[in-house]
Structure 1
Amino acid sequence: MKKKLVVIVSLVFINTLLSQTNTNTPYSLFGLGVENKTATGGLTGLGNTGIAKSNPFEINIYNPASLGNILQKSFLYEFGLNGTYSTLQSNSKQETISNGNISHIAIAFPIKKDWGMSIGLLPYTKTGYNIDLENAIEGTTETYITRVTGEGGLNKFYLSTGFKAFKNVTFGIDVSFLFGSINQEKQVYTDSYVSIMDKNHYSGAKLKVGFQYKIIDTEKFETTIGGLLDLPTSLGGTQTRSSNKTTSSGNSIYIEEEVENELNNFELPFSYGVGITSVINKKITTNLDFRQLLWNNTNQNQNNETYANQSIYAFGIEYMSAKDKFKYASNIKYRFGLNYNTGFLKISNKQIDSHFVSFGLGLPMRKYSNDYFNISYSYGKEGTLENRLIQENFHKLTLNLNFVGKWFNKKKID
């Protein structure tokens, strides 16, 4: 019954995830939209850290090398959702928005001893905006309004595997397939009404490799270092454009209808990351991560905007009393995290950075179980009010269900 329920829920999640629109921020106007900051297990409550973290009962989508420690005859599966309440603020206006969406669905299982595999689907980028632009009519003092709206984003389907090469060393590889569309409509209001609808489709693959090395392994103290390399890639794009004009008398005229065009490839940069995780007395776990994405090397421009190298600094700490493994309270995990992201987009000579603080709980589903209900709350800011830009203050709630099954046990025949 449990297996059937998981399959049904998974199918519903996949269908909803592929059709979702889940943001409303003007910064998603640029490029492929804003990055979807998804983390599995309890890593959201830990400031989205985890490059060096390896737990045989949790899926870690950051580093595929963690799969080298998955237990035999186990089967991990999890899915999550999140909701955001944001305030968008400029020097003259303020607006509140809220949205909710599915964050991911993932499974992991062993292939054989010290060798695991994971499969998952999650949003990669998200787009949602509604902007009015006032433009001057050349040679006059009059103006006209262009309303630009957009929605959509890219999804990511990944296959990853990790194996233990030596006693305390694991390696992993992750192949991701990115696909999706971003729809944009421009509505121009003058003496007539013109609508231009673009459906931009992108797809491509990217490769990531990682390692984890446990440099200290004693009864009371463990330290693991981890590293990632994300190779650069190009996403191919096509555009389908439709446009029509409506005159003041109400007559509608098609200008273009389902015209297909090739788009310039969108370049994703080379990136690398390092992390260190320490476990003290099997009660306190700390994560410290650093990542850098080399956007400058892609040589891409967005009108008057540019891409800049992006750095991410993150820290997380988790506490579990573990006084008595048979008591529910002793198995609750308490989490705290910090994250600072310089951003990759530079507008009006100002880089759009963000930061947040997170708090989380890992609640056991029941006694004597490694199944967890993870909940985390994050508060942060993105953007700035300088140079007539927009600042977003956001509250984010993330819920995650993490199950550990034993689906590969053979049935005994008496």
Structure 2
Amino acid sequence: MNRKILVVILLITSTTLLAQRTNSSPYSFFGIGDEFSPTTVEQSTMGGIGAAYNHYKYLNFTNPAANAYLRYTTYAFGALNNSLTVKSDGEKQDSNSTTLSYIALGFPIGQKAGFSLGIQPISSVGYSLRSNTFDVNGDLQAITLYQGEGGINRIYGSFGMKLFKNFSIGIEADYSFGNIENSITNQIDNVNLATKYKEENIVRGGAVTLGTQYQKLLKNNVYLNAGATFKLGNDLNVTGNEYLYSLTVSSSGADIPRDTISNTAIDGKYKMPLKTTLGVGFGKFDKWYVGLDYENQDAIEVLGSLSNTNASYRYENSNRLSLGGFYIPRINSISSYWDRVTYRAGVRLEKTGLAVNGSGSNTNFTSINDFGISFGLGLPLKQLSNVNLGFEYGKRGSTTNNLIEENYFNFRLSFSLSESWFIKRKID
């Protein structure tokens, strides 16, 4: 591939990544929005494992120590299509959204180190909900519209190296940035003016992740992998403004602001605790692999003026358990293309760390849990490149305590383009 053309593609798709609306989940209303785990499509189709996993041509967004095993320069592009069904009190609504998931580049440095960099979203906000209020006669009395958009992206640089024969270490630094806007519009019947509350938030913050991996060759060419990552505690600083004002609505549906009732500055932060991920796996080189990950993080702390607006939700300890792997029938098969395909599958059980107050009582919070099963295909192209397809079905939340249950189907697509750089040409 022409590298100049690739740079242009990266610039164009990076702009698209930052500009798009990437979510349709009502749970993106809370906090910093719907959070994403940093995984490639290959990892996602294996349940999200990554602490112990490494590969000579695939990137790993979970553990920076995995960069030490890269042997080829790899460009990675990922996209996600999310089909969502929302259920609440017997009602059901469907939605669909498509987003670019990541753009990344990784390459080896000598025989014992590697580096990768990229950009990807870490949370998104994108919802539009309408609530109707009726009087005792069943006539419409008021309409309340909840809307939100935006999200947080991160750029990162990740380095890993083999410290000893079977042991590698890694470090990753990232910078998160984004804008989030939430609004609530209330229109009462037979009243000319509506009222609107709007928050405009600017989010900024940096983080550092440390990682280690151990790989040992056992009998019959089976190897054992173990790994751990530690994302150090960091702050996401939030600034902006919140407004309360009256308005009229034009025939086209646009807001026409009238009088500002209040204008208050927002100054707060989300204090993100240490996040630990432990993993172990067994495999046979270019044949099969099975891995298990466990991730844990204490509750996110909300500080400053943000702490005055979270009566409807709170954060609690989060954890995730992932199990998955892959199988390749015969990677060098000449007679059958499907024998060279990588077949992946996994399962994920997650306590998201979000608890929502659905009853109006400040003591009645319900934890939001997420369960997903996934499978995928790695379709080989010429030389070392692959097209990766991923499919995931999952369920999040429940209808108890006046809350919402989400059933989702995710289709993921990625291109992993690998080639050799920095190799001197030989002349016979």
Residues 231, 275 of structure 2: 8 Å contact kept: yes
Per the alignment, residue 345 of structure 2 pairs with: 336
Question: Normalising to structure 2: TM-score of the pair?
Answer: 0.88
Residues 34, 123 of structure 2: 8 Å contact kept: yes
Show CA shifts across 1:142-191 (max 9, x none): 96443220001000111110010000000001111000010112212132
Identity of aligned residues (%): 27
Residues 329, 339 of structure 2: 8 Å contact kept: yes
3-state DSSP class of the match of 1:302? coil
1:135 CA displacement: 7.7
1:305 CA displacement: 2.0
Per the alignment, residue 375 of structure 2 pairs with: 359
- Of 272, 292, 313, which aligns to 2:296? 292
Rounded to whole Å, the distance in 2 between the matches of 1:135 and 1:201 is 33
Compared CA separation, residues 248 and 46, structure 1 to 2 (3 A): closer
Per the alignment, residue 362 of structure 2 pairs with: none
Show CA shifts across 1:199-237 (max 9, x none): 200000011101000134444210110001111111111
Unaligned runs of 5+ in 1: none
Per the alignment, residue 53 of structure 2 pairs with: 53
Per the alignment, residue 268 of structure 2 pairs with: 264
Per the alignment, residue 236 of structure 2 pairs with: 235
Rounded to whole Å, the distance in 2 between the matches of 1:180 and 1:112 is 36
Show CA shifts across 1:47-77 (max 9, x none): 1112101101110011000011122xx3111
Per the alignment, residue 3 of structure 1 pairs with: 3
Question: Normalising to structure 1: TM-score of the pair?
Answer: 0.90
1:110 CA displacement: 2.3
- The two structures, once aligned, show a CA RMSD in angstroms of 2.7
Per the alignment, residue 332 of structure 2 pairs with: 324
What amino acid is aligned across from residue 419 of structure 2 in structure 1? Answer: G
Residues 41, 59 of structure 1: 8 Å contact kept: no
3-state DSSP class of the match of 1:352? strand
Per the alignment, residue 18 of structure 1 pairs with: 18
What amino acid is aligned across from residue 19 of structure 2 in structure 1? Answer: S
Rounded to whole Å, the distance in 1 between the matches of 2:424 and 2:260 is 65
Compared CA separation, residues 290 and 280, structure 1 to 2 (3 A): same
What amino acid is aligned across from residue 344 of structure 1 in structure 2? Answer: G
1:35 CA displacement: 0.9
What amino acid is aligned across from residue 288 of structure 1 in structure 2? Answer: L
1:266 CA displacement: 1.3
Residues 295, 308 of structure 1: 8 Å contact kept: yes
1:239 CA displacement: 1.0
Per the alignment, residue 258 of structure 2 pairs with: 253
3-state DSSP class of the match of 1:226? strand
**Bigger mean CA offset, 241-250 vs 40-49:** 241-250
1:115 CA displacement: 1.4
Per the alignment, residue 90 of structure 2 pairs with: 92
**Bigger mean CA offset, 150-159 vs 29-38:** 29-38
Rounded to whole Å, the distance in 1 between the matches of 2:247 and 2:293 is 54
Matches within 5 A, 1:164-175: 164-175=162-173
Q: How many residues align?
A: 406
Per the alignment, residue 213 of structure 1 pairs with: 214
Residues 270, 300 of structure 2: 8 Å contact kept: no
Rounded to whole Å, the distance in 2 between the matches of 1:385 and 1:34 is 18
Per the alignment, residue 388 of structure 1 pairs with: 402
**Bigger mean CA offset, 385-394 vs 193-202:** 193-202
1:381 CA displacement: 0.5
| Structure 1 residue 350 corresponds to structure 2 residue 366 | yes
Compared CA separation, residues 381 and 249, structure 1 to 2 (3 A): closer
- Of 176, 181, 203, which aligns to 1:183? 181
1:91 CA displacement: 1.5
3-state DSSP class of the match of 2:352? coil
1:325 CA displacement: 4.8
| Structure 1 residue 302 corresponds to structure 2 residue 315 | no
What amino acid is aligned across from residue 320 of structure 1 in structure 2? Answer: I
**Bigger mean CA offset, 190-199 vs 98-107:** 190-199
Rounded to whole Å, the distance in 1 between the matches of 2:208 and 2:377 is 32
Rounded to whole Å, the distance in 2 between the matches of 1:165 and 1:217 is 20
